[in-house]
Amino acid sequence: MSLYIFVVRFFIIGWTCSHSVFGGCEDVRASFSFFTVLTYWGLGFYFLISAIHTFTYARSGSPLLERFPRPLQALHAFYYTTVVTYPFIVTIVYWGIIYKGPWYPEQFDAWSNISQHGLNTAFALFEIVIPRTSAAQLEWVHMLWLIIVLALYLALAYVTYYTQHFYPYTFLDIEANGSGKVAAYIVGIAVAGIIFYLIAKGLIWLREWVTERKLGMDGKFAQQRFHNYDTELGTINSKH
């Protein structure tokens, strides 16, 4: 998945820069102000880092993450929370608010938008359903940090407007939409972030309950080593 995400982003960069009809390299530079693009890069690097942790765990019985300082372990846990939360916001906002139709006449536009506004949610669902992560890893304080990161992005969007003279998303334009409508969009997205966090946490808990408690599928462990703190699962004093 990491490979596909990076192929998507670098192909989009190369194709856009070499075709002025798609905006050229100026459009590529502007893309780093879009929440969609930032979260897509985040997905790519998350899966890359997770692959490294999995490889080191398979080789030594101890993931590289376990050797990180506790603050970095905490950041990794929050990173996971963003991966299973933000893509849903991106997909809902794009197809529900931004996309107006008709369908894209250019195959490049269709492919790039499906990859970034559709498959991103598929990747998030994969990360919820398949890995043996724990609902405890999505700590309640993460809800606050999800809102803080969204607020920081909002600040970036308005900095972009005042420095580059465009809104990454037109629904943030106060002059065109009015302050009340813009405020409603902002609050709605923040609430959606909390809702998707709760849904993700609930689905992960349900997966744990079905696979481990009901079906007894504890999984296979490299060298069956015991660790006091299982950083991958977010549990303490657990053999699993």
pLDDT value at position 66?
84
CB 57 within 8 A of CB 223: no
d(CA 146, CA 210): 28
pLDDT value at position 239?
35
pLDDT value at position 56?
87
Rg from Cα positions in the chain: 20
Helices 141-164, 179-208: crossing angle, 10 deg rounding? 140
Which tokens go with 115? 């990859």
CB 177 within 8 A of CB 171: yes
d(CA 51, CA 178): 45
Dihedrals phi, psi of 229, to nearest 5 degrees: -130, 115
pLDDT in tens, 139-171: 999 999 999 999 999 999 999 999 999 999 999
pLDDT in tens, 75-113: 999 999 999 999 999 999 999 999 998 999 999 999 999
pLDDT value at position 111?
96
| DSSP for residue 100 | -
194 Cβ contact partners less than 8 Å away, ≥ 6 residues apart? 143, 146, 147
The position carrying tokens 């606050």 is 144
Q: Which residues of the chain have pLDDT under 50?
A: 224, 226-233, 235-240
